[in-house]
Amino acid sequence: MDRWLNSHWFVRGIALLLAIMLWMIVNLEPEQGNSSEAVQPTRIIESVKVKPYYDADNFEITNKLQSVKVAVESNNPFLKYNIFDNYEVFIDARGLASGAHRLQVQSRGFPEGSKVTITPDYIDVTLEEKQTVEVDVQVEKIGKAADGYELKQPIIKPFRVLVTVPASQVKKIGVVKAAVNVDGATDTVSSNAQLKVYDKQGNQMTGAEISPLVVEVNIPVTSPSKVAPLKLNLTNELPDGYSLASITMNTQEVTVYGPNEVIKPLDTYSGPSIDLKNITSDRVLQLKMPLAPKVVKVDPDTLDVTIKVVPSETKKLENVPLRVTGLAEDLVAKVFTADGQELNTVSFDVIGASNILKDLTANDIQIVADVSSLPVGVHEIPLVYNNNLPDYLKVAPNALNQVTVEITKK
């Protein structure tokens, strides 16, 4: 003890404690007036919300309840420092019928012994009986499906719900909506959507009760489609000495999905490309089906192609007629070879696989000299071999490809 009394910090602490106690005695003691009773401290609480107690299952309060001011008096000198968090200001409308009522505002939960004054001490309340009706659910689609896709009729479970509102608002009910986001959808959209009620002017009826509040919504998403013949694209030619005997595909047509403006004009669908320049033997290929611009899907999405390659053979077609086209009615034309011999037919070789060449005749190809727009005179023009040839055959490179045409007046 002597050690403490000799400590400067201990003495200073005792002095500080005594100073605080003296301040509290002077400042917190209630002032005495000429009367025999002391003036009690008062605490004012503004804009207090009034809680209503009523039969919420069968009635609705249709007017906005007035806020009140609460004055709390107490002989507790620490009243202004107290935190009121358990008090309640309320009206009791239980057992009352529909209509307008003026009810006393009551309170509870304030410190014991306090005097509570509420202003105003009576407020008006209007009770209206509730009414329940059945309403069909409508789906509000937010956004749009991806390009080339269409939204089908929504499937709603349940498709009809119960809506409870004050009786006077039943006729104002417009629609019950389930909002579902479908933006960018490419497949069925499924959602557990919360419902909202809107009046006939499109305003949300926030006080409406909905049962059930959540429904299951499924929106099928599809794409318009069309079945079209498949066209295989062959590029370049086989190396010299090789010919195609056959090309087979596992399907001759495909189903094309996309916007109507894209798929409706389709007569054929352009399939995968095969470069022939390095192929010298049989091949079995599995190729991915290309997507044309704005086409969203092709079924099947892959193509199996079998290529049969054989050594090339040659067949000569003799005396195939030569046709002159594009000649004006008042003109005549003669065709000559480079050495001046008049030409009416052409003989040439065709290269291909033997299984195809064996059925080839002169009727399978046309040879044309086109003189369209040419004036009277002598002209050098190319011969055109119109390719009515069976698939995978070609005219030999040494075939006659240019002639002289003499055009004169009739």
DSSP string spanning 197-215? EEETTS-B-TT-EEESSEE
Residue ranges, CATH 2.170.120.40, the chain: 130-222, 225-311
CA 83 to CA 45: how far, in whole Å?
Answer: 11
pLDDT on residue 147? 83
User: How large is the average pLDDT for residues 3-14?
Assistant: 63
CA 163 to CA 138: how far, in whole Å?
Answer: 14
Which CATH code is given to the segment(s) 42-128?
Answer: 2.170.120.30
**Do the Cβ atoms of 44 and 150 come closer than 8 Å?**
no
pLDDT on residue 324? 93
**Do the Cβ atoms of 70 and 90 come closer than 8 Å?**
no
What pLDDT, in 10s, does the model give residues 353-402?
Answer: 999 999 888 888 889 999 998 999 999 999 998 766 777 888 999 999 99
78's CB contacts (< 8 A; 6+ apart) are none
Residue 263 predicted with pLDDT over 50 = yes
**Residues of the chain with pLDDT > 70: what percent?**
88
pLDDT on residue 10? 64
DSSP state letters, 98-110: SEEEEEE-EEE-S
Distances (CA, A) of 359 to 189, 242, 352, 386, 389: 57, 19, 12, 18, 11
147's CB contacts (< 8 A; 6+ apart) are 259, 294, 296
The residue count of the chain comes to 410
Helix, strand, coil tally for the chain in percent (to 5):
10, 50, 40
pLDDT on residue 334? 93
pTM: 0.54
pLDDT on residue 11? 61
Q: Which residues of 121-133 are buried (b: 16+ CB within 10 A; e: fewer)?
A: eebebbbbebeee
Q: Which fold has domain 130-222?
A: RNA Polymerase Alpha Subunit; Chain A, domain 2 (2.170.120)
Whether the bond between 120 and the residue before it is cis, its omega within 30 degrees of 0, is yes
Residue ranges, CATH 2.170.120.30, the chain: 42-128, 313-409
CA 50 to CA 90: how far, in whole Å?
Answer: 5
Other residues' Cβ atoms within 10 Å of the Cβ of residue 271: 20
Residue 29 predicted with pLDDT over 50 = no
Which CATH code is given to the segment(s) 313-409?
Answer: 2.170.120.30
What pLDDT, in 10s, does the model give residues 158-198?
Answer: 999 999 999 989 999 999 999 999 999 989 999 999 999 99
Query: Which pairing describes strands 313-325 and 366-370: parallel, antiparallel, or unpaired?
Result: parallel
Q: Which CATH class is domain 225-311?
A: mainly beta
